[in-house]
Structures are given as structure tokens and as C-alpha cells.
Amino acid sequence: MGAALEIRNLHVSVEGQPILKGVNLVVKQGEIHALMGPNGSGKSTLANTLMGHPAYEVTGGQMIFDGVDMAELGTDERSRMGLFLAFQYPVAVPGVTVANFLRNALNARRKVDNPEDKGVPIPQFRKMMIEKMDLLQMDHSFGGRYLNEGFSGGEKKRAEILQMAMLQPKIAIMDETDSGLDIDALRIVSEGVAKLSSEDLGVLVITHYQRILNHIRPQYVHIMMDGQIVESGGPDLALHLEEQGYDWLREKQANGDA
């Protein structure tokens, strides 16, 4: 049995304002889920809350990962358990290269597992990074770039996918870039996910882009509106959304038969 991320009746407030109003969702290792929904529906709030961002106050419900309630766990501990949360608004870090950043992330992870760990030797790290870059068809020069400095939305996603390849999480949550509708970024995520997905990796891809099936093949599709998942289904749900938009769901909600 693989690990699962179970979100149970999750309520979250930001600055005293309720944003998530009872979210239920289960993502298991080996499954690809898409979370869709209009702008402002609370998708990124869910991602940020799962990451343990301090601005997001859990006022009810639970987030259980691999059988453990994450409520009291910090971001690092969540990551160490095998939950990967791609940063939606990654900051530029002057003077820190992608390779440096990845080596620090990997070493931090190893040290928690074994406090005596002296860090991955540089030659071994280089070899591993080059293997992963080749798998993802990335230019080797990418490792020498300064993290997020002048990165396009697509390059930020490339850095995230490479980080995911290096850290080998059980479940990954990929939120769309701050640039929003960025087809290039979505394509990079979908190709990366396809290359890395196996029985071991579960993925939750978050986007408001309706023609998602052109890029990602999720087994499960969920639609969030006004802080709740109002509809779940298979790929046909994404197809329906592409044809009909969100209006039919808004009407369904308004009529109270959702």
C-alpha cells in the first residue's frame, strides 16, 4: 500500500476571512489528479495550506499524509515525509544557483533522516543531477543559472520539476505559475510528470486552464468553486468544462442541487 494524502472537511481562513469551506480530497501514490476551478476559487489557498504557510489558518478539518495528521508539522517535516509542494511564487535568490539550491534541499532532507549525514558528495550529486536533467531533456547549463533570476514561468516550472526528480517525493502538488495562464509551463509540468510518474508518484496538478487535457492526462478531475470541491469525475469532466465553461456549475450551485 502506497501513501495517501487525505484532506478531510478542511476549512481555512486568511486574515480572518474564510476561504476554504469544507474541502474533501484523497490523492494516492500512483494517481494523477487535476484540481481545476475559476480564479479566486481557493486552489492556491489549498496548496499553500498543505505546505504549512503560516498565513493560512486551519479552522477545521484535517490534512493526513501517510496516516499522519500534518496539523502540527512544519513545511520541512512535511517535505521529509515525502510531500512535495512546488512553490507558486518562488523568489529570486541572488547568488544561489539551481545546483546549489538542489544540493541544499537534498542535504537537508538527508540530515533529517540521519543527523550524522555529512551531505551528498559533490561528484555524486553532479552525476545524479545530470542523470535527472537528461531524463527531463534539460540543458546542463540550467544547473548553473541563478535560481529564479529572470526565469520565465516555464523555467520556474523546469526548476520545480528538476527539484521533484531529485527529491523523489511520494505525492507532489504542482500549482500553476504566478503568471497564470502559461501554456508553456503547463506543457513542461505535464511532460515532467509523465516522465517521473510511476506507481510511486501521486500528483495533484492545479490549474484554471480549461483545455488541460491537451497537456495532462489526469485520471481524476475535481472542480473547486468558492472554497469547495463541487464536482469530481474522470477526464470527461475536463472535456465538459472545456466545452461548457463553469457557468453550468454556477447554476447548479445556485439551484442548490450540487
Q: What is the binding site for Mg ion (CB under 5 A)?
A: 43-44
Residue closest to 165 by CA, chosen among 197, 127, 142: 197
Burial of residue 58, with CB atoms counted within 10 A of its CB: 0-12 exposed, 13-18 middle, 19 or more buried: middle
Name which of 15 and 116 has its Cβ closer to ligand ADP. 15
Name which of 19 and 159 has its Cβ closer to ligand ADP. 19
Selection from Mg ion, ligand ADP, none that 42 binds (CB < 5 to 8 A by kind) is ligand ADP
Buried b (16+ CB within 10 A) or exposed e, 38-55: beebbbbbbbbbbbbeee
Residue 210 interacts with ligand ADP (CB under 6 A): yes or no: no
Residue closest to 143 by CA, chosen among 115, 124, 163, 117: 163
Selection from Mg ion, ligand ADP, none that 258 binds (CB < 5 to 8 A by kind) is none
Residues 2-61, interacting with ligand ADP (CB under 6 A): 14-15, 19, 37, 39-45, 55
241, amino acid identity: L
Q: Which three cell numbers stand for residue 58?
A: 486551519
Name which of 46 and 138 has its Cβ closer to ligand ADP. 46
Name which of 47 and 171 has its Cβ closer to Mg ion. 47
- Measure the CA–CA gap between 206 and 224, rounded to whole angstroms: 10
- Measure the CA–CA gap between 166 and 160, rounded to whole angstroms: 10
Query: Min. distance of Cβ 180 from ligand ADP in angstroms?
Result: 8
Selection from ligand ADP, Mg ion, none that 34 binds (CB < 5 to 8 A by kind) is none
Q: Is 195 within 8 Å of 205 (Cβ atoms)?
A: no
Query: Min. distance of Cβ 44 from Mg ion in angstroms?
Result: 3
Query: Min. distance of Cβ 43 from Mg ion in angstroms?
Result: 5
Q: Which residues bind ligand ADP (CB under 6 A)?
A: 14-15, 19, 37, 39-45, 55
